[in-house]
Structure 1
Amino acid sequence: MLIKALITLVFTTFCTAAKAQDFYVSPSGSDKFNGLSPRANFWTNTGPFKSLSRAQQAIRSLKAAGKFNQAITVHVGKGIYPISTPLEFNNLDSGLPGQEILWLGEKGVTIISGGIALKNCQAYDTANPLKILSCPLDSTTVSRIKNEANDRILGNNPEIGFFVNEKWMQPARWPNSGWAHIKEPLDKFTQFSVYQKMPQFTGNLSTAQAHMYANNDFFDQYVGVSNIDLTNNKITLLDKTTYPLVAARRFYLQNIEAALDAEGEWFYDKANNRILFIPPYNVPPSSIVISGTTNLIIINESSHINFSNLTLRHSSGHGVKIQKSDNILLDNLEINNVVGKAIYGRQSTNITISNNYIHHTGQGGILIHGGDRPTLKASGNLIDNNHIHNFDAILFNHSPAIDTSGVASTVSHNLIENANGNAIDLSGNDHLIEKNEITQICQQSADCGGIYSGRDWTYRGNVIRYNYLHDFYGYEMDFTFTDISKNNIIYRYKGARGIYLDDAVSGMTVFGNILVNTGTMSIQIGGGRDHRIENNVIKTTGRAIWMDQRFPGFNWDNMRNTLKTMPVNSDLWLAKYPELGVQMEHDTWPEGNSIQRNVIISTGYLGYSLRYVAPLKGNAIGNNLLWHASSGIRLDYTILDNGYSVGGALWNDWLNQGIETNSLNVNPCLNISGSKISITCANSPIYSLGFQTNLPSDIGLVK
């Protein structure tokens, strides 16, 4: 009896001291406990809660009782926490400065899952060598699941993701790998013949969906299929494609039961309320899950809440959704196997997304928007030291690892790798993109960049510095050799860009970056103005710098109209961006650009390394160093004042035009090793150009 009394006294004392500071949650706990201890004690009814929502309610009750007077930590123990609805946080859940509310898990083992585990899966056909399994479903399970609406995803597909042993499964498709191709468009947007002979599919084809690059190599979408005419080898789409159909463009069909014939494929059999699948790699399935909740965590009009050391999985939409919130920390999370984006934030400020591991998502990694552009009020958003890869399993391009917009966010020290499309998109003003490493991207897309911005003259003040970009792919149709009439469809690994300043976007600073083999163009100025391209090191087989006037037919009125969307003539804007107050000589010409003190090492054929479309005056191009170990330097250029144009010009011919001055064609004595450069001779000519060699040593992830 004395021992029992002492134990009771110890727990009572602990709980009184910790009541306003610590709560505990465990899968082995009970929502009837008080949540004030990590261990259960039935004598005192003390122990961890079982559910996260119960801990949330306890904090709300504490605040309602006026007892919220210090920071609170919710210790979320090891285990899986299944949720059938999102964890929603609002102002009732907010902390205060110095009294933040922290939801703290155990790294790698505290898992919040919105998935529905499938049980009682049986062999579908024991005589079938494909080893198809069948998992029964409740008749309303799939119909209840919704994903985030996206106008690039149309058709009759179920709005779920399917995961076996935590591997992302592919809806049954044809062909099993690679692409089929359009032979001939039969109308503008909905009907085409197929170049390859389609299999004689049997059974119901009404659920089929086409994943297409219907017109180009940069825009992919999913459209429903109305009819598959196997006799005439043609397809009629249920939905119109965004761009007109073009011969030799690529697609594949999916969500067809008759195409279920490869490891890692699955099909939702709606008529029989079941999922059919072939396990990946002949490994017996130990975990079979479909995504259930649209989002896992929703943070709306909240502040001073922190989340750390949690693993988030199995949403049919975004993992974390943030709206109109401030001072939110997402740190040391792992987010994977979500159908949408890992983190989606809009109209939010002072959001810190740091040290996270984001992988195998469907439509991108992190999207964050904040700040106020008319007043240039900074967002204070920070995306730092995240490892992001395989982030575009569903939409292959324009589903970037990081998409930041608004005003003054910082994107730093991230490692972005292994993706089908682009890596970082930015729009708005005064963002800082620095010390990131980007590699192995644009594997299924072309006209695709490592760091991308475009299509607005008012996007100003953005700084892209000290990033290491290397080894990009690009995948595009080869127009030279593709000829349907001769049965030639040729695609090649080209078309990526390193830093892509597209469609007349202006006012960017690109300084001190290292770009090695980043595709067709290392830095592209697509008709833009007032860019500062300085002190970069570029090694490439393609064009190191490409500056153009834009293509014929480019709608310059769209750019002129962007000037009307912001107070560009206000004292605030003119003080920040004085170039906006300078009269444009020719608003369709690239003017005001400074391309100075860059080191370019060409390894391409005959030194083809530059393309300039420029007026005689209006840009500052000079003090650059270009080198090819076994050839001279060649370039293409057009002088806009007189229309004089030369392809494959020799370096001295270009210098004689007087547009570029004081540049050198000599060995720089410079070595690139990963994200670091070194000078290999004491008298390197780059010193005479004013090139700054002291680039940061902490580019990429900080361990």
Structure 2
Amino acid sequence: MNVFQIFLTSLFILSLTCTGQADLNLYVKADAAPQGDGSRDKPFRQIDQARDTIRKSRQNGQLKMGESATVHIQPGVYEIQKSLEFQKADSGTAEAPVVYRATEPGRVRIQGGVNLNPASFQPVTDASVLKRIPASAQKKVRVCDLSKVSAGTFAEFKRSYRGVPVGPWLYVNSAPMTLARWPNADADNGGWATFSKAVDKGLPDPKAKDPAKRKLHPGAFVFDDPRPARWNLQEGVWLLGYWTHDWSDEVIRIADYDPKQKIIRLAAPHNYGIMGGTWGSQQRRFFALNVLEELDAPGEWYLDRKRKQLYFYPDGNLKDTSIVLATLTQPLLKLQETKHIRFENLNLEFGHSEGVSLRNTENVELAGCVIANLASGGISVNGKQNTIRSCDLYHLGTRGISLSGGDRKQLTRADNRAINNHIHHYGLFQRTYAPGIYANGCGQIVRNNCIHDAPHNAILYGGNENRFERNEIYRVVMETGDSGAFYTGRDWTSQGNILKHNFIHNLGGGDAEHVNTMGVYLDDCDSGDTVEGNVFFQTGRAIMIGGGRDNPILNNLVIDCPIGLHIDSRGMTWKQWNDPKSSGWNLEAKAEKMNYKQPPWSERYPHLAKIMQDSPREPLYDPVRRNVFVDCTKEVAHFDGNVKKLLDKFEIEHNLAVNTRGAAQGIALTKDLKGFTNLSGSAAKPIALGMTKTAQGKLELHQDPSLLTKQISFEPIPFDQIGLYRDDYRRELPE
């Protein structure tokens, strides 16, 4: 802001004070004339000008504490070259928050990239490039010279990475494009190439003569397909693979390819080796990316980073197409130690980092915002009493929303909230452990969100006293196995979390033989979670307790799942259950860090306080009551041998296993299992329990209260209150 602008702004604020208007209203318009003063008639051009004006008016006393400030942002694209930052001095108060509001919802975009002119994309004429592009695509691919829009150099890809690749990234018509790859995502093989033989797993071999082989090193495998011979490996080709486990993805460059022996050797090691052992499919899978020779499908692109030439295969005519190259490697919106500030109906899009970063903030709210088309996460929250409400988050490279804060040791709540958000199509770059919502710390609230279409978890959590209720989750865990829509694990101290009245349905991925996709997965002795009143429909294993304790399973309705409930005793059989040398275990030491034998922990979690004197390896105190299992195709309840021997210690009662139509085969019932009653209908008189789909494709739940109340005192689930709802910021619900 120059001297003249400061003078005009001071006069504007002074005029408000003199006319008795205590609250401050400022206006911003992207195409406003220069040297505006923030008034309605002479708006600022940039949002940070309004921020600086509010900050200055606070400092000089013209805007007193208790007097509010509202910034009215008019439609337009606001390109930024660095984070839009807010600090302690930009705070409001509970009675008078500072508000940044779009005057027209959905038409204000804060953007961390540059718009590319469709006319700048021209036919490819370079013969050396055309020779590499598939013949079917040569006349369709277009090239844009980026040297006119980017003064710096483009960084090269690393030898290996997990998660966000080096930028920039291309977005067309508000969707991320695909870096030229093979196989194509829509190929008959699901977009994956597979192999089943590793010639060098890359794991340390203490007996190896070569010192390099005695430590973790790049692996190699046989790939019985001549395709790699087409690729220019010197320029760089990378493989995104599930090299050993279906829950661990990594991108690794090809070092070389031997066409005679058909061996691909990687350029960097993978932490678990190549085919180092896994539970599930014996074949491993990958796809190649950043391959000019595979630029053969609409929506694919390739960047020659040295020559700054961007090649793109458009889907039709580029006229009137919106093309953005996301370049900003900082959060679009960044707040530090800020209080009582609200952002309404803004679009934060097109960046090569995360969208919003809140650090040590209090009572900051994002409402009705769109956070999309980002290489990293959507929103990260650390602090207390912050709220993310009625926002849409999609096309994200990693997670959706991250909530943390509170004091676990003192069990002091943060009360951060994620409410009524629509989160979908995330985990585009980091395929695993990049959830729709991540919650940690103490006292986060996750309510009425809709989360769908992702390769791995919907909700990943840890910590204490977090509450997850009335969320709808579907089409997640679509690409991976040994995971769940809700996932937590390997911690005795993650106590007091409640999963209540959620609807989890139509999950994918996994392995049919093992049924290793779960609705709720309490992994590796995780303890202290209450799973109550949830509806599971076609989820694989609906509820899985992996050796943990103090996990009440109450009043859940499980429909059309292969396995309804799983409880195992891995703490009794796995040597690493308390081994400090085993990655992530050392359960007792984790508890000691929380002073778990002292108040408030000993008072809040009495079973945990005495665990080391109470058969710590046994999965005790997991009551299973008033659950209904409808048409389970393999097993109603799977208990391993040790659990079966411990059933006298379990509180299992008033559960119901239902065969709605009395099918002779394909539907499991229980056989003399403690605490379960079997109930069968017939084809002529089916039992009215289950899920149907309306003509519009909406799932409807049929639960007969009179039947279930009579049988097991089942409490009806408030199904109509689950998922998204209309409010002042979400006027319409997605179809």
Classify 1:679/1:394 alpha carbon distance in 2 versus 1 (closer, same or farther; 3 Å): closer
> Is the Cα contact below 8 Å between 2:228 and 2:257 reproduced in 1?
no
Q: Which residue of 1 aligns with 2:689?
A: 670
**Corresponding residue SS for 1:325:** strand
Q: Which residue of 2 aligns with 1:216?
A: 245
Q: Do structure 1's residue 197 and structure 2's residue 192 form an aligned pair?
A: no
Q: Do structure 1's residue 28 and structure 2's residue 22 form an aligned pair?
A: no
Q: Which residue of 2 aligns with 1:170?
A: 178
1:238-272: per-residue Cα shift (whole Å, max 9, x none)?
Answer: 22112121162001111122221221111110221
Compare 194-203 and 287-296 and name the one that shifted more: 194-203
1:512-550: per-residue Cα shift (whole Å, max 9, x none)?
Answer: 11111112x000001110110010000124100011112
- Distance across 2 between alignment mates of 1:183 and 1:284: 46
What's the TM-score, normalizing by structure 2? 0.83
* Number of residue-to-residue matches in the alignment: 648
Q: Which residue of 1 aligns with 2:656?
A: 625
* Gap regions ≥5 residues in structure 2: 1-10, 186-190, 203-217, 276-281, 579-584, 682-686, 693-697, 727-735
Q: 1:160 Cα deviation (Å)?
A: 2.2
Q: 1:149 Cα deviation (Å)?
A: 14
Q: 1:165 Cα deviation (Å)?
A: 2.1
- Distance across 2 between alignment mates of 1:57 and 1:320: 19
Q: Which residue of 2 aligns with 1:491?
A: none
Classify 1:335/1:454 alpha carbon distance in 2 versus 1 (closer, same or farther; 3 Å): same
Q: 1:555 Cα deviation (Å)?
A: 1.7
Q: 1:314 Cα deviation (Å)?
A: 0.8
Q: Which residue of 2 aligns with 1:549?
A: 569
Q: Which residue of 2 aligns with 1:501?
A: 522
Match of residue 720, structure 2, among 675, 697, 701: 697
Match of residue 226, structure 1, among 255, 265, 282: 255
Classify 1:256/1:288 alpha carbon distance in 2 versus 1 (closer, same or farther; 3 Å): same
Q: Which residue of 2 aligns with 1:63?
A: 58
Match of residue 516, structure 1, among 537, 547, 555: 537
Match of residue 326, structure 1, among 362, 365, 371: 362
> Is the Cα contact below 8 Å between 2:476 and 2:485 reproduced in 1?
yes
Q: Which residue of 1 aligns with 2:635?
A: 608
Q: Which residue of 2 aligns with 1:383?
A: 418
**Corresponding residue SS for 2:229:** coil
Q: Which residue of 2 aligns with 1:122?
A: 122
- Distance across 2 between alignment mates of 1:589 and 1:280: 58
- Distance across 2 between alignment mates of 1:350 and 1:297: 18
Classify 1:435/1:454 alpha carbon distance in 2 versus 1 (closer, same or farther; 3 Å): same
> Is the Cα contact below 8 Å between 2:113 and 2:350 reproduced in 1?
yes
- Distance across 2 between alignment mates of 1:396 and 1:282: 32
Classify 1:297/1:435 alpha carbon distance in 2 versus 1 (closer, same or farther; 3 Å): same
Q: Do structure 1's residue 661 and structure 2's residue 658 form an aligned pair?
A: no
Classify 1:587/1:271 alpha carbon distance in 2 versus 1 (closer, same or farther; 3 Å): same
Q: 1:420 Cα deviation (Å)?
A: 1.6
CA RMSD of aligned residues (A): 2.9
- Distance across 1 between alignment mates of 2:411 and 2:159: 30
Classify 1:13/1:199 alpha carbon distance in 2 versus 1 (closer, same or farther; 3 Å): closer
Q: Which residue of 1 aligns with 2:111?
A: 113
Q: Which residue of 2 aligns with 1:76?
A: 73
**Corresponding residue SS for 1:313:** strand
Q: Identity percentage over the alignment?
A: 28
Classify 1:226/1:582 alpha carbon distance in 2 versus 1 (closer, same or farther; 3 Å): same
Q: Which residue of 1 aligns with 2:200?
A: 187
Q: Which residue of 2 aligns with 1:593?
A: 622
- Distance across 2 between alignment mates of 1:285 and 1:275: 19
Give, as a single letter, the amino acid of the residue that structure 2 aligns with 1:29. A
Classify 1:325/1:685 alpha carbon distance in 2 versus 1 (closer, same or farther; 3 Å): closer
Give, as a single letter, the amino acid of the residue that structure 2 aligns with 1:179. W
Q: 1:363 Cα deviation (Å)?
A: 0.5
Q: 1:97 Cα deviation (Å)?
A: 2.0
Q: 1:697 Cα deviation (Å)?
A: 3.0
Q: Do structure 1's residue 407 and structure 2's residue 442 form an aligned pair?
A: yes
Classify 1:681/1:553 alpha carbon distance in 2 versus 1 (closer, same or farther; 3 Å): closer
- Distance across 2 between alignment mates of 1:221 and 1:35: 49
Give, as a single letter, the amino acid of the residue that structure 2 aligns with 1:527. G
Q: 1:477 Cα deviation (Å)?
A: 8.4
Give, as a single letter, the amino acid of the residue that structure 1 aligns with 2:356. V
Q: Which residue of 2 aligns with 1:371?
A: 406
**Corresponding residue SS for 1:298:** strand
- Distance across 1 between alignment mates of 2:547 and 2:161: 29
Q: Which residue of 2 aligns with 1:274?
A: 309
> Is the Cα contact below 8 Å between 2:159 and 2:252 reproduced in 1?
no
Q: 1:458 Cα deviation (Å)?
A: 0.3
> Is the Cα contact below 8 Å between 2:654 and 2:675 reproduced in 1?
yes
Match of residue 302, structure 1, among 331, 338, 350: 338
> Is the Cα contact below 8 Å between 1:466 and 1:512 reproduced in 2?
yes
1:75-100: per-residue Cα shift (whole Å, max 9, x none)?
Answer: 11111111111101111211122121
> Is the Cα contact below 8 Å between 1:118 and 1:136 reproduced in 2?
no
- Distance across 1 between alignment mates of 2:159 and 2:21: 44
Q: Which residue of 2 aligns with 1:483?
A: none
Compare 392-401 and 580-589 and name the one that shifted more: 580-589
1:163-212: per-residue Cα shift (whole Å, max 9, x none)?
Answer: 12222111111122311123422222322221433243254543221111
Q: 1:375 Cα deviation (Å)?
A: 0.5
- Distance across 1 between alignment mates of 2:615 and 2:153: 56
Classify 1:261/1:662 alpha carbon distance in 2 versus 1 (closer, same or farther; 3 Å): closer
- Distance across 1 between alignment mates of 2:124 and 2:374: 27
- Distance across 1 between alignment mates of 2:151 and 2:39: 36
1:636-672: per-residue Cα shift (whole Å, max 9, x none)?
Answer: xxxxxxxxxxxx9x733x43xxxx2363445564344
Q: 1:235 Cα deviation (Å)?
A: 2.2
> Is the Cα contact below 8 Å between 2:533 and 2:556 reproduced in 1?
yes
Match of residue 292, structure 2, among 257, 263, 273: 257
> Is the Cα contact below 8 Å between 2:563 and 2:632 reproduced in 1?
no
* Gap regions ≥5 residues in structure 1: 1-7, 40-46, 480-493, 636-647
Compare 173-182 and 582-591 and name the one that shifted more: 582-591
Classify 1:461/1:676 alpha carbon distance in 2 versus 1 (closer, same or farther; 3 Å): farther
Q: 1:419 Cα deviation (Å)?
A: 1.5
**Corresponding residue SS for 1:518:** coil
- Distance across 2 between alignment mates of 1:255 and 1:227: 16
Q: 1:57 Cα deviation (Å)?
A: 1.2
Q: 1:379 Cα deviation (Å)?
A: 0.6
Classify 1:167/1:685 alpha carbon distance in 2 versus 1 (closer, same or farther; 3 Å): closer
What's the TM-score, normalizing by structure 1? 0.86
**Corresponding residue SS for 2:269:** coil
Q: Do structure 1's residue 428 and structure 2's residue 463 form an aligned pair?
A: yes
Q: How does 1:351-370 map to 2 (within 5 A)?
A: 351-370=386-405
